[in-house]
Amino acid sequence: MIEQAREMRQGVSLSGDRNQCAECGELFNSVYSFEKHRTGTIGVYQGIDARRCMDLSEMRILGMVKNAAGFWVTERLTAQGIEQRNEAFVMRETGETAAADPSRVLRHL
């Protein structure tokens, strides 16, 4: 089954950082995402720590998705990215509230 998957993809051109896993035959958009789908300990071949490829559901749990070209990519939603998004949201909310009635404060002087 793995051999078949590899044959089907021989026409795909691998450019730049893109690569194909020799073990499961999946395509990866970067070395980073390839490394991410490998789990276990290098050099261990049996047991729970054995080095292996994650299955598709495990990869999705990690936030990995296939792009339009069929390559696995990793969504890097960092803590900083989330924070920036929240800040932008708060700033917009505050701006709208102030614009609702800007003359009210002046009247009470």
Residues that bind Zn ion (CB under 5 A): 21, 23-24, 53
Pick between residue 58 and residue 87 the one whose CB is nearest to Zn ion: 58
Least Å distance between CB 24 and Zn ion?
Answer: 3
The smaller minimum CB distance to Zn ion, of residues 50 and 88, is found at: 50
Could you tell me the two tokens for 27? Answer: 């395509």
Closest to 72 (Cα-Cα) out of 7, 2, 11, 12:
12
Task: Judge contact between 64 and 20, C-beta under 8 A.
Answer: no
Return the residue matching tokens 């009210």.
104
Q: Hey, what are 44's tokens? A: 């261990």
Nearer to Zn ion, 24 or 64 (CB): 24
